[in-house]
């Protein structure tokens, strides 16, 4: 795709910007696949043909059109076309956590680098995966199949709110509660 055709795509998308947060991208099934060199690196930075996006508003707008399909690939989706996006890790980062209440009534609100806000709950569960070095790497579902990786400072903030509980296996697990759900931050012997 040329710079001109990317510009045309941006123009078409911006026309619907006011409705972006409500776009039904999960329901759109475009047949046309447009080839564009788009990438989101592990730090959440967006690139087109190796050049970083400089307009934060454009990144936010594109993030509302992002979808992860069953094959594991990410796409920017419109009703008539889709563009494959290479994603190094998760497309979004959780940059902020705020807690309301404590104990069983606690609610934790998370915010991403593209301004999505949601509660840590059954619809937006937390999952801990481990790196090859056995380091915890926390992810949360944002919408559909899209995930955000928690920045280390946000993860450690959750650890600070967690309670240690000894399990029947003899392990001690760190559990954080939000919206009536318990989420494991990891276990140790």
| Average predicted confidence (pLDDT) for the chain | 90
DSSP string, 59-121: HHHHHTTEEE-TTS-EEEE-SSEEEEEEESS-SEEEEEEEEES-GGG-EEEEEETT--EEESS
- Mean pLDDT for the stretch of residues 93-105: 96
- Tell me, what's the pLDDT at 1? 44
- Tell me, what's the pLDDT at 4? 47
* CATH label of the domain that carries residue 49: 3.10.540.10
- Tell me, what's the pLDDT at 184? 95
Verify that 69 and 98 share a domain, yes or no.
no
Residue numbers of the domain that contains 147 = 92-188
Verify that 97 and 76 share a domain, yes or no.
no
Task: Answer with the one of 52, 87, 122 that is the final residue of a domain.
Answer: 87
The model carries a pTM of: 0.86
Verify that 98 and 183 share a domain, yes or no.
yes
Verify that 100 and 25 share a domain, yes or no.
no
- Mean pLDDT for the stretch of residues 140-152: 97
* CATH label of the domain that carries residue 140: 2.30.270.10
Closest to 150 measured CA to CA, from 132, 134, 126, 119? 126
Task: Answer with the one of 34, 64, 87 that is the final residue of a domain.
Answer: 87
The dihedrals phi and psi of 137, each to the nearest 5 degrees, come to -130, 105
Verify that 105 and 33 share a domain, yes or no.
no
Q: What does the pLDDT look like over 3-62, one tens digit per residue?
A: 445 555 555 555 544 444 568 899 999 999 998 999 999 999 999 999 999 999 999 999
């Amino acid at each position: 795709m040329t710079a001109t055709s990317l510009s045309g795509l941006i123009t078409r998308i911006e026309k619907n910007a006011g409705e972006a947060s409500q776009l039904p991208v999960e329901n759109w099934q475009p047949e046309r696949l447009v080839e564009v060199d788009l990438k989101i690196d592990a730090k959440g930075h967006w690139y087109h043909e190796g050049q970083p996006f400089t307009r934060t508003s454009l990144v936010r707008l594109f993030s509302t059109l992002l979808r992860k399909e069953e094959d594991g690939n990410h796409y920017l989706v419109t009703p008539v076309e889709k563009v494959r996006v290479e994603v190094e890790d998760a497309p979004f980062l959780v940059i902020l956590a705020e807690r309301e209440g404590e104990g069983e009534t606690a609610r934790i609100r998370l915010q991403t680098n593209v301004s999505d806000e949601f509660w840590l709950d059954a619809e937006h569960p937390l999952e801990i995966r481990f790196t090859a070095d056995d380091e915890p790497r926390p992810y949360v579902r944002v919408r559909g199949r899209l995930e955000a990786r928690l920045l280390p400072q946000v993860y450690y903030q959750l650890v600070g709110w967690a309670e240690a509980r000894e399990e029947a296996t003899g392990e001690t697990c760190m559990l954080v509660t939000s919206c009536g759900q318990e989420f494991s931050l990891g276990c140790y012997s």
